[in-house]
Every structure is written in C-alpha cells, then in structure tokens.
Structure 1
Amino acid sequence: MMAGAFAIVAVLWILLQTIGILGHPQAIHDERISLYFQPHGFGDSKINRPFLDSEEIEFSNLPAVSEHALNNSINYGITQSKRIARLEKNLVNAGIGLTDDTPTHSHYLYASPSEDALDLQLEADVVAKASMYLLQHFCQRFGRSNEACASFVSTFKLQGTSIGESCAAKQIVPCRANARYRSIDGSCNNLENPRWGSALTAYSRILFPSYADGIESPRRASQKPNSLPGARVISTSLTRSADQFDVSRTLAVMQWGQFIANDMAHTVVRKMVTTKEPISCCTSDGNFLAPRHIHPHCAYIPVPEKDPVYGQQQQRCMNYVRSLPVVKTDCTFGPIQQMNQVTHFLDGSTIYGADDARAEELRTFQGGKLHVDDHEGLSYLPKADHNTSVDVCDDPDNCYKAGDDRVNFEPSLAVMHTIWVREHNRIAEKLSKMNPTWSDEKLYQESRQIVIAEIQHITYEEWLSTILGKTYARVLGFVSNAENGRINYNQYEDPAVSNEAATAVLRFLYSLKRGELSITDDQRRNNGSLKLSEHFYKPRVIENEGTFDGLLRGLTSQTCGKMDMNFVADVTQSLFRTNKNGLGLDVISLDIQRGRDHGLPGYNHYRKYCGLPSATTFDDFLDQIPREIVKKLQGLYNHPHDVDLIVGGMVERPADDSILGPTFRCLLAEQFARTRWTDRYFYDSMAQPHPFTNEQLTQIRRTTLARVICDNGNHISRMQPNAFLRIQGGNEMASCTDFEAIPSVDLFAFAEKDKAYR
C-alpha cells in the first residue's frame, strides 16, 4: 500500500508539472526528485552527477597508470607541499598576518577551522598536487581538455599509496547497528558507509567541478579572454542598497534559514599548515601585498579604484583565503573537494556540537541538561571561555559558547540558539519528572532526540513550505502527516550536503536580511531597534532588559527582505565591521569568489540540469530574468556560460508562490530531499532502530516555531500560529495559552509506560 502511495505522489508531481500548475513545466528536473519517492531499487537509480560536456568521455586510448606512477605523483605532491612550508616560514618572519579587531579578522573567526579539520588539510593538498601531476603526464599532453583529464584522474584510487592507507583507516568506524541514538559527529548513520555524512568530510557535487586547470585553480571564463569579471565589480553593478520587503513573510524566515544552514554546513578557510597561523592576502589597510608575500592559498578580490564605497577609503584589496580541502571518503585522486566542518545531517549540531569534545563541554551531566548561565533569573547560553576549541572572540566574556561558534555572529542568531537550549532543558526537566528512574544519559539523549525531531518538523512542515511554495513542498512529500505515513530510507545515496547548496543556494538568505532589527512589545509596537552592522560579534546585547523578547517578537512581525539583488548596506559594505565609522566586507563579493574557488560551474549549466533550456545567447535568459538585469549580465560577462551560479540564481524571477526562482528552487528541493531520505535517524523514518511510536510521532507533528517561542521566550504571551507569515487573516495573534490555535507537544507520550527500556 505504501509503495502505491509513493507511486501516486510521483505521478501526481509529473502531471501537475505538465499542466503548468506548478509553473514552468520543467522548473525542476522531475526524474531526479521523483526518484526519492521510490520505495525500492535506489541502487539502480541514484541521482547522477553529470559532467558539463555532453559528449561521452573516452579514456581507452590513454596510457595506463601504474601503482608506481601513482606513488611518484604522491611524492611529487609531498615535495610541492614542502615548498609551501618554506614560504610560510618566510611570511611569518616578514610579519605578514591578520590584524586583530579588523573585519578580516572577524571573518576569519567566523570561518576558522578546528584543530581536527586543519590536520586533514595537508593530506588534501598533497593529493591535489599529485592529481595535477597525473593530469599533466598521463592525459593533458594527449590533447584532452582539463575537465576530461580531471575526470580521468578521478578514476584512480589512492590505495597502495601512503595517503591511501591513511584515508582507508579513517573510513573504519566501529558501529552498532541498533544504536538507539544518532552519533554526535554523524558517523554510523549509514552502516555500509559509516563516514558518509559525518563531520570533517567533503561536500558532494551535483555537477562535476569546473576548475581552470581541472584540479584546483579557481574557475575562469569559458572562452578567451579567460578572465571573469571581478567579484566586487559584479556586486556593485547588480546590487542596490534599497530595502525592498516581502509583504507576506516575516524576518523569521531568514533567521530560521540561517540557523538550519549552519546546522548542515560550515565551510572553513585554510590556515598555514606549518605555523597554523591565519593567512593574510591583503595589507591591514586594504591594499595589495608584495608578490613575494602572497600565500598560494590566497584568492584576494581586487577592488576598482573608482569603487563607490571602498574607493573613497583607498582600499584596493579585499581579503579572501581559499576554503579548506579534504580527501574524499572514496579515497580517490581528482579535483579538490571542500570540507564541511559539521555533520551533513539536519541534526541539531548548532545546539549539541559536531564532535564529542564539544558535546561534553556543553553538558551539565545532571538531569540530562545543557549548561546555561543565569542572568536576572533567566537562562542564557554559557559564556565562551579560553578552553573553547576555537577562539570565537578576542574577549571570550563578550561571546557565548554553543554547539556552533557562529552563534556569536549577530544578536538574532544568538536568540534563536538560546530558545533551543532552553527547549532542550525544558524537555529534560519534564521527562525527568515523568520518568524518575532515567539516568542523566538517557534524559539527555531522549531530549536531544525530541529537539532534533522538532527542528526537522518545523523545517519541512513550515519553513520549506514558505520558501518553496505550499503546493510544491506538498507534492515533493516535504509536508509530513499521518496520511503520508513514514518515509523510506535511501541507504545508497551519499547524504553529504551539495557544494552548490552550501556555497550558492543557501546564500540567498543574506538577501532577506534587514539592516535594522526591530524590538517590539507584546502589542507589536516598535520599542526601538538594533543596527545590524553595529552588533556583529556583540551578541550579549540580548541580555539587556526587553531585548530578548523584543527581538523574538520582531523576527515574527517584521517583514523580511525580498529575494533579489537588493542587499542592505550592512552586508555589502559593513559585514563584520568592528568600529562604528569604519568599513566592513561585502558578502556578495565573498560569495561570488567562493563559488569560483570551489569550482562551481556557471549558472547556465544548472539551468540545464534543472530542466530549463541552456542559453546560447544572453537573450535566452529572458525566460526567467528581467530584461534590465540581462543587459547588465551581458555587459559584465563574455558568454552566458560564465555567469556565476549565485548571480544567476539570485536574479531569477520567483517561481509561483516560492521565494526562489526555478533554478535555486530545484537545487534547494533536491538538497532537502536528500537530507531527509538519506538520514536513517530522520524523525519519521521507517529505518530508525527504535522509531517513535505512532502516539509520539503524532505529538512531534504538532510542533511549530510559534509554540517553541511561546514556551521559551522570557515573557511572551501572544504569537501568531505560523511565525514565518505576517499577522493577517487566518494567521491572527493568539494567546500562548490557547493550545488549539498554537498546539503543544504532549510529552506524556514519552513517559515510560512500564519498566521496560523504551
């Protein structure tokens, strides 16, 4: 019966697309998404990761590569890495480094790698140099393209080399098949491939990467001249600081999106391997370094002399350090892959951490609770300390310790973290009263399991419906209910977050930000505001009287920005600003540069992947992009293939009732489909070793963000049922004690009914 239900949903999806109810008939690649509705046979129908070239890549007439040659390539890689080590010592001796209390240093803190992450960088660098050696000696000189050669090199295993032995050892993880709870670091979710989805592993790819040299050099233009327009030039040409609002959605859409994006992805930057010092690519006053002082891992962003903002301050260089790579879990040569420092699952790592050491730091080991600090009788996150694995702030007393150090980025994100730590402790306390014999460990794990389920349910039931559109989300099966039953688990697909989602698609959230964060009272009257650019890394302002609740009410009543290329100046010229009168960084420039650094192919290739026609001229973009924007793109880029994914995706017209255009909607939908169906511990998965009972699942499905805010604000008494939508007809304000309007999870369903271990 369930197989039939899934088949009906898949057929309905294709039918609705065909008749145009969901917008463009091919606004999303039907086959790729509908595969997730198949209850069996995933092994034969995995989502493809196609190459950019349409022609079949043939390797038969290329020379054989022996194990001896593979080892020679590794030795070459080691030699090249030693040269970088010598250069790094020279840079340190020359005093080239980051200056504290600067936007560049704050950005480094935001993307700083952990010690464990940094230890994996050297291996990945050696493999990259070795792959380049193989590409040049066994493929490129036979007239093949860089991309074809990169594909050829990717077929070789590291097995038999020194790094191959190390890589293979990392994949061996002891797992218990019937473990009741998910691990902290994401390992053992997939029993056949226990490292899949775990922290410190590579992002996946939707399309084969497009590096200039096939292996690691940032993407370049598809035709001569090979240079792409500067990232800052694109930013100033396309973005406007005008605040345009979404009339129906609240700022909570942005804040929740940032919260779960941080849960699923954390791209970190390289550091010097020898000294472990941060890398500086520009002078402290924003000018170019001497060529001998530029680290090979720099990809700084040139700023035009006549830049409307930075030009007035004579700043010509914006710091950009390339992202930290990691060897792939399949232990192969090939193009570099960037590391995700957190787990790839939607599993509350922002609250609990992504490694055992951090998880233990956050626990009280009493009653299953997490550490909090009391301030005037209210619980807040504990202060950061010098024992924290990453120095999140120059002065730890000004910052919080959480599962994710990015909590300190801005006050409203700290508020979101705080209500979930409170939610965990609230649940733990109630479970303790209902189950007095439970140990601290059981209370912690049961509370964590419920909290993760609540986060997953809010994301799919409320947030994705708001982002993708209700009909679209419902047809994809993201809206879960009793009629849908429980989902099937796909053990054959790698759960890793796609590089495209982490590096481009989820960055649309910055377009939704507002420069002023409203502080409102219980009647939703504005009682003041916080200027975003003045509170980067100053999160403890939320402890001021009235600010915590005021920000929560503001998030659920203030409208978010529209998803377009209009960004508030707080993120296009003041990002990570450290003093009131100074400048900060530009998030758009950084995001464009990061996409090139990661070798993301151009927007046009993703159009094709998502079912839209590939553009051969710029006018072909007019089907999804306004004419005035197309003219600007034509003035910036030499060819439609060159348009960056993040740029093309951001300027598309919204599809139907979605926030996003068809390409970003397609890529985001695919990401969250994989996130759900490849997670053995997803809250409504049939594959959980100890799944929720039907009674418990019914209660989890009553979760709303509105209820979590009601239960965990300081003194919030009223809220609209759907916190992501503005207060209007059908979503009027209700009392937090009105459990019909704002349902509550009855934790009695989790009480132990007998002495048996549930």
Structure 2
Amino acid sequence: MAGSVAIMAVIWLCIQSLGFLGTGNSLGAYTLKTTFQNEVPVHPSSPGYDQRQDRMVTEEFKAIYVPKIDENALNSSIMYGNMLVKLMSRLEINIASAGIGLLKNSPSHSQYLYSYPSQDALEKAVDAIVAVKASSFLIQHHCRRYGMNYSECARFISTNKFEGTPLSAACELNKDFNCNPISKYRSIDGSCNNLENPKLGSALTAYRRLLFPNYIDGIQEPRHERRGIHALPNPRLVCTTMSSATEQPDASRTLVVMQWSEFILHDLAYTPVRKMVANGLPISCCQADGNWLSPRYIHPDCAPIHVPDHDPIYSKEFVRCMSYVRSLPVLRTDCSFGPVEQMNQVSHFLDGSTVYGSTMEKSRELRTFEGGQLRVEVRNNREYLPTANTEPASLCLSSRCYTAGDDRVNAGVQLAVMHTIWHREHNRIAKELARLNPSWYDELLYQEARRIVIAEIQHITFNEWLPILLGKNYCKLGVSTGIGHNHEYNSDEDPAVSNEAATAALQFLKSLKQSSLHMLDETGTVNQTLRLKDNFYKPQTIESEDFFDGIIRGLTTQSSQKMDINVVSDMTHGLFKTNGNLGLDAVSLDIQRGRDHGLPGYNYYRKYCGLPVAKNFADFLDYIPSEMLKKLRSLYNSPDDVDLVIGGMAERSVDDGILGPTFNCLISEQFSRTRRTDRFFYASAKMVYPFTPDQLANIQNVTLARVFCDNGDKISQMQRNVFLKPELGNELNSCNDFEAIPSVDLFAWAEKAKAYR
C-alpha cells in the first residue's frame, strides 16, 4: 500500500513538472450564476432545487469568476484518469494473486449473477471510469480553489464536453448506426427507435436523471454513514428499525401485482455491477464468513455495508460485513464531464427484452430459425426454457438454469414461470401465424410474433397493472392509452429510464413479496407451499409434477403483502440464501444503491412531485404515519437526509392505488414518458406500419388471464383480472369462455383476411 502511495506521489510531481494541469484562459472567465442557469439543464417539472444541495438555482450568488477550462486542461485530466486506471489494474492483480474472490456457494455470488455485467458493458465502462476520474481531477484544480462547493463544481464541470479529447469518439451519439427509417420492426437493442438520435434509449447507455445527482465530492463518492453534520445512518440499521417482518396481506390484490412489477422492471432496467478491469474477475468486498477484508485487499469499487454489532439477526452468526459492489458506470449521454452515471444493460423501452434479449447475440441464441420459433426443451411432455450454457446463467449453483431474454429469469421460481409463459406465448402465436400464412418465412413469422407479444405486454402493463398501482391518478396524469391509435410520439424527449424509477420507485415490489408461496390444485386447494428463501436460483423446481400450474394458480389467488415499509424476513436477511442460515438484506442493498447512484434525499423528490418541502420531520406527517415518523427521526439528523427508497415506501397510499404520492409521481412520470418516446409503441399511429384498426382492437382484448389460460400446462379456469382476487364481479371463468376472457384473434393478421378488408 505504501508503495502505491509513493508511486502516485512521483507521478503527481511529474504531471506538475510537465505542465499537464493547464491553467485555463482567463479571457474566457464568466460568472458561476450565469453558467448554471443558462447552460445546465433543469427538469421542466422542477421549479428549482432547494436547500443545501441545489441552492444555486433559487438563491442570488455573489459573482464568482471561474476561468474557462481549455482543451489542454481537459486532455490532461484524461491522461490523469488513464494513469489511475492503470494503477487500479495493478491493485487488482495483487488482490487476485492473494486469492480474494467470491465463493461460488455464497449469497454474494448469487448477487453477482443477478447483476452480472456483459463483456460489452465492461468495455464501455472503462471510458466512463476514466471520465469520472478526470472529472474529479477537474473539480480539485479548476473550481474548488475559486471558493465553490462540490455541488457547484460538479455543475460547472458538467458544462465541459468531450469534444477535442480522446473520449470524443467513444461518445459520438450517432456513431455506427445505419438506421432504416421505414423498418416495420424495432431493433433488438433499442437503437434507431429515435431516428434523429439513434442511440437514445438503446442498451448500454445511461439512465436519465430527474434531479441533479448528489455525491459528497460532486462526482462519485456516495452519501454514506459518517461523523459530523448530516451524517447518514447505517443502511442495515435503517432496515431493522423501519421494517418489521409482520405480514399484512392485501385484501384484494394478488401476488400477480408483485410478479408483473418485477417482470416489467427487468424489461426496463438492468443495472450491472463493476468487475475488475485488469482481469474481468468479480469483486469481493467481504470475507466469505462475513468479516471485513484487510484494507489492502478492499477494491476501490467496494462500498460494503457495516453490520451493527448488536444486529438482531446477523450478530448471532458473527456477520459484520455485507458485500456491496458499486454499479457499472457509463459515459454521460450528453458527452460531458461531470458526475458518474450508471449503465442500463437492457434497452430503455418496454419492448419484451425479458423474452427476446437486448443484444443480437442473445436473440439469436434463443431462436430455432425455423417457423419463427424460440428454442425450448421438452421434459415430461411440457415445453420449458432452454438450459443455459453461457455465463451468467451457466454459473448457477443449481444443476440446471435457464437461458432467456433476461438472465435474472433464474432468481426465483415465480419469475421463471412468468418467463416461460411468455416464451410459450411467442411460439403459440408464431405457429398460428404460420398456419394462417403458409407462405411466410421464418424471419417474418418471428418478427410478427415478436411484435404482437410486445404489444400484449404493453397493453397489459398500461391497462391492467398501472391502474392497480396508480389508482384514480392513472387517468388524471395521462398515462392511460385509451382506445384506438394515439398520436403522442415525441422524438424530442429522452426515452431513457430514470435512475430514480429504476433504483428506488420500482423497488416497491419487494414490499409485496410473500415468504410462503402457495401452490393450488384445480379445485383451488393449497396442496403445497414453497419457502421464498429456499428457492432462489432453483428454477428447475417449476418442472416438478403439477408445480407449474400450481404456481400460476397461487400467483392469481394468493394475496400480495400490503404495500408499506415492512418487508418479509426472507428478503431482509434471506435474500439469495444458499446452504447457510442467512442470505443478504434487500432493503439495505437498495438503500446503499441509492446512495451509490447519487440519488438526492426523499425531501427533494417531494418538491419535484409538487408536495411541500419538509423543514422539519413533523412536516412529513401529511403522508407518513406518526409511528414511522418517530423511527425516521431516531435515524436521520435532517429531513433532507432520508433516503428516497425509505421515504417513498413509508408513505400512505393515495387515490385508491397502492403507492404513496412520491412513488406514484415518479412511476407515472416514467410510464407516461415510456409511451410518448417509443416510436413503436403498440397504439401509436406514428409507426411507418401501424397495426390495422382490426389488429389493434384485437390486441386491446388481451388480458394476462388469457395468456395464463393459453400457456399453462392445463389451466382450466381463471378470473378475468388476475391482479385482483377472484370474487363477485371478478369470478373464476372457464378458459374456454372467450366472452368472459377474450383472446387475440390472429385471423386479423391473415394475408387472406387483408384481401377482404
């Protein structure tokens, strides 16, 4: 360690002596106030940021003259960033040589599989790491010395673009895209959806921000537990204080609400973790027994969670350290220096990437190239997803894991069933299209079936799931698709998923999970129960006799947990449990991830969403119950410090939905924009080849109940709205009753039928 410090010191002196730091051009000086208000974009829904993080937007400033950073200084900062990456590679080699790594039979290994970064993602991340380190360099040498705080510096640095630097080529927005403007079908990776900016919304690009990020150093250091004013509480302590394992089932909503939420989250967002740059090995942040690593073996990308000495669960097993590896970075969308941004490894569109993948390689791996079909494996006369033979699914502890459009398919049995249902749905549609159109070739059958499946997923999401989440607010906020075609496509908006929705708001689904998963027979009797914590990464369980249909019936009849801050113990200390007694804590990891991503506190998003800014904890009483408020006050020093994921989950529900106003706002914003920015959205009239009125009317008949009926093993009855429990007005009906449970009549896609229209 001392040797590394000495090397750094020598290199630092060399850089200074060679004049690499740059001095800027004093003739280009301008006021800080003008720069921030005119050059840094502010979200139009936010009238201005407030309090200590963003006061520059709402307060008058003294005129601070900051020299413009010239091209030489920018290039010098990149040289410095490259140097630090090389030094980090040397450290990684030493860590690997010492045998520090993940044990395959451990919860941390499953956590790594769940957030596995692809090789393409890793290659893109290297440039981002250099840019982040260069930005930190610029902060220290080109604005801090002028009396600016870190947040002000970060905004100033973000006005500097990569143009004229070695990073410019890596960030050219439309590089290597050859779009066909009259293509009927969307690309696999999301590119070319926006013809003006083909890269927007594509896989391996950054999440967007609703609010400017909040890092301690302005660029990358997360808000964390520390001494001093506004210290943040320990994530694990927040979990054990705020969350109780008390189970309160929802009176009317089924577990399908939870499972569809997870399925859609995976379609929109996949945040990979960092790996070692030098050798591509996974990073381990704790010892295998839950103790701390020696400081010399802690990777710079580690942000492990300290487990308090008197933790009610982990202390009994002498666990002191919970591993957390920071999320993989990516270059900023506007090709600028500035705070670190996190990568979305899947496309940002709601486009069935869970079924088809977000890379051409994955999509081809899943296809038979005959009859438009996806690959299956037949066992016990039933079709299941193909067995994985490539990473990450091939690294599963299970004897057999599946490959699907999204490798997280294997994380739980209910998720595996949902993936299998939609895999079968594609093949069912492709077979019927082939029967109706004998002249259609493989590619046409595949693309048409894919187009229909994506439309079905979109329709179910917007017309069955979102009303359950948002309640009366659903139509008021303009999220509903309505009937028929719409003309809402807007190419001027960024389709990227918001960091806030992916990292915090959509994580509400963890509150809905049940610890016991019921399986029902055809009479509706619970004949078996699976424990959630015992079935992580054991997807082949669904192949046991009658389990597949039993899990579907359980999802559609068992109550979800009530949406609140309370999360079942299987998630708060059983996540990814392997052979031991304990797993990880999902709530602590979500808190840490929010801080890693630089999400400002809950109070700032209250203002973004039009709620009063809390000046003291009592101001939270408008939507947070008093018992929760007492706990928040005992943990956090200031209302500004409350983590978004905690504040949002602690809120009472509004408008007959299941979410509080803040998460309701963030999710409404996300899905409204998801619809408006998708040129291929199923109801859009802006497509070059929109669905015909007959086709669209049929798609708008689809329900998740019909998809379950058509693709279960022998499902015979289902309620029309599977997101709500079967009761009067939503009774169980025969799957053969097509009036009660309508279907998509694929005759609307028959070439002969077109001739008569």
Same fold (TM over 0.5): yes
The within-5 A match list for 1:716-731 is 716-731=715-730
Corresponding residue number in structure 2 for 1:419: 421
Distance in 1, matches of 2:724 and 2:421, equals 19
Corresponding residue number in structure 2 for 1:660: 659
The within-5 A match list for 1:624-703 is 624-703=623-702
Contact 2:536 / 2:577 at 8 angstroms: preserved in 1? Answer: yes
Question: Which letter does structure 2 place at the counterpart of 1:674?
Answer: R
Distance in 1, matches of 2:89 and 2:42, equals 46
> Residues 705, 67 of structure 1: CA spacing in aligned structure 2 closer, same or farther, 3 A cutoff?
same
Distance in 2, matches of 1:183 and 1:443, equals 16
Contact 2:534 / 2:577 at 8 angstroms: preserved in 1? Answer: yes
The within-5 A match list for 1:286-435 is 286-385=290-389, 388-394=390-396, 397-435=399-437
Using structure 2 for the length normalisation, give the TM-score: 0.91
Say which SS state the counterpart of residue 125 (structure 2) adopts: helix
What is the aligned-residue identity percentage? 56
Contact 1:384 / 1:397 at 8 angstroms: preserved in 2? Answer: no
Contact 2:594 / 2:643 at 8 angstroms: preserved in 1? Answer: yes
> Residues 135, 359 of structure 1: CA spacing in aligned structure 2 closer, same or farther, 3 A cutoff?
same
Corresponding residue number in structure 2 for 1:479: 480
2:152 counterpart of 1:153: no
Cα distance, 1:78 vs structure 2: 0.8
> Residues 391, 480 of structure 1: CA spacing in aligned structure 2 closer, same or farther, 3 A cutoff?
closer
2:245 counterpart of 1:241: yes
Distance in 1, matches of 2:561 and 2:173, equals 47
Distance in 2, matches of 1:589 and 1:169, equals 36
Corresponding residue number in structure 2 for 1:36: none
The within-5 A match list for 1:141-180 is 141-168=145-172, 171-180=175-184
Question: Which letter does structure 1 place at the counterpart of 2:151?
Answer: E
| CA displacement, residues 580-599 of structure 1 (integer Å, 9 cap, x when unaligned) | x4210000000000000000
Structure with higher RCO (Cα < 8 A, 6+ apart) = 1
Say which SS state the counterpart of residue 162 (structure 1) adopts: coil
Corresponding residue number in structure 2 for 1:72: 76
Say which SS state the counterpart of residue 252 (structure 2) adopts: strand
Which of these residues, 97, 106, 119, is aligned with residue 93 of structure 1? 97
> Residues 49, 676 of structure 1: CA spacing in aligned structure 2 closer, same or farther, 3 A cutoff?
farther
Cα distance, 1:479 vs structure 2: 3.1
Question: Which letter does structure 2 place at the counterpart of 1:314?
Answer: F
Contact 1:201 / 1:341 at 8 angstroms: preserved in 2? Answer: yes
| CA displacement, residues 477-502 of structure 1 (integer Å, 9 cap, x when unaligned) | 433333x6424101111100000000
Question: Which letter does structure 2 place at the counterpart of 1:306?
Answer: H
> Residues 558, 391 of structure 1: CA spacing in aligned structure 2 closer, same or farther, 3 A cutoff?
closer
Which of these residues, 425, 438, 441, is aligned with residue 440 of structure 2? 438
Distance in 1, matches of 2:409 and 2:491, equals 32
Cα distance, 1:45 vs structure 2: 9.7
Cα distance, 1:163 vs structure 2: 1.3
Contact 2:410 / 2:416 at 8 angstroms: preserved in 1? Answer: yes
How many residues align? The count is: 710
Corresponding residue number in structure 2 for 1:574: 574
Cα distance, 1:44 vs structure 2: 13
| CA displacement, residues 316-362 of structure 1 (integer Å, 9 cap, x when unaligned) | 00000000000023211100000000011000000000000000000
Say which SS state the counterpart of residue 163 (structure 1) adopts: coil
The within-5 A match list for 1:529-540 is 529-540=529-540
Contact 1:556 / 1:723 at 8 angstroms: preserved in 2? Answer: yes
Cα distance, 1:224 vs structure 2: 3.5
Question: Which letter does structure 2 place at the counterpart of 1:550?
Answer: G
> Residues 189, 101 of structure 1: CA spacing in aligned structure 2 closer, same or farther, 3 A cutoff?
same
Question: Which letter does structure 2 place at the counterpart of 1:456?
Answer: Q
Runs of 4+ in 1 over 4 A off after TM superposition: 43-52, 57-60, 220-223
Distance in 2, matches of 1:316 and 1:269, equals 22
Corresponding residue number in structure 2 for 1:191: 195
Which of these residues, 49, 52, 62, is aligned with residue 66 of structure 2? 62
Contact 2:425 / 2:711 at 8 angstroms: preserved in 1? Answer: yes
Corresponding residue number in structure 1 for 2:499: 499
Question: Which letter does structure 1 place at the counterpart of 2:373?
Answer: K
Gapped regions of structure 1 (runs ≥ 5): 1-42
> Residues 47, 193 of structure 1: CA spacing in aligned structure 2 closer, same or farther, 3 A cutoff?
farther
Contact 1:461 / 1:478 at 8 angstroms: preserved in 2? Answer: no
The within-5 A match list for 1:534-613 is 534-579=534-579, 581-613=580-612
Using structure 1 for the length normalisation, give the TM-score: 0.91
Bigger mean CA offset, 564-573 vs 204-213: 564-573
Distance in 1, matches of 2:42 and 2:182, equals 26
Question: Which letter does structure 2 place at the counterpart of 1:282?
Answer: C
Question: Which letter does structure 2 place at the counterpart of 1:658?
Answer: G
Distance in 2, matches of 1:120 and 1:161, equals 17
Which of these residues, 266, 282, 290, is aligned with residue 262 of structure 1? 266
Cα RMSD, aligned residues only: 1.9
Question: Which letter does structure 1 place at the counterpart of 2:492?
Answer: Y
> Residues 728, 754 of structure 1: CA spacing in aligned structure 2 closer, same or farther, 3 A cutoff?
closer
> Residues 242, 500 of structure 1: CA spacing in aligned structure 2 closer, same or farther, 3 A cutoff?
same
The within-5 A match list for 1:6-25 is none
Corresponding residue number in structure 1 for 2:30: none
Distance in 1, matches of 2:453 and 2:554, equals 24
Say which SS state the counterpart of residue 62 (structure 1) adopts: strand
Corresponding residue number in structure 1 for 2:452: 450
Which of these residues, 117, 120, 130, is aligned with residue 134 of structure 2? 130
| CA displacement, residues 235-258 of structure 1 (integer Å, 9 cap, x when unaligned) | 011111111111010000000110
Gapped regions of structure 2 (runs ≥ 5): 1-40
Distance in 2, matches of 1:85 and 1:54, equals 39
Question: Which letter does structure 2 place at the counterpart of 1:53?
Answer: D
Contact 1:495 / 1:675 at 8 angstroms: preserved in 2? Answer: yes
Distance in 2, matches of 1:431 and 1:730, equals 34
Question: Which letter does structure 2 place at the counterpart of 1:561?
Answer: Q
| CA displacement, residues 223-244 of structure 1 (integer Å, 9 cap, x when unaligned) | 9435311000100111111111
Cα distance, 1:523 vs structure 2: 2.2
Cα distance, 1:396 vs structure 2: 6.9
| CA displacement, residues 414-457 of structure 1 (integer Å, 9 cap, x when unaligned) | 00000101100000000001111111000000000000000000
Cα distance, 1:121 vs structure 2: 1.6
2:492 counterpart of 1:488: no
Corresponding residue number in structure 2 for 1:715: 714
> Residues 505, 353 of structure 1: CA spacing in aligned structure 2 closer, same or farther, 3 A cutoff?
same
Distance in 2, matches of 1:282 and 1:544, equals 36
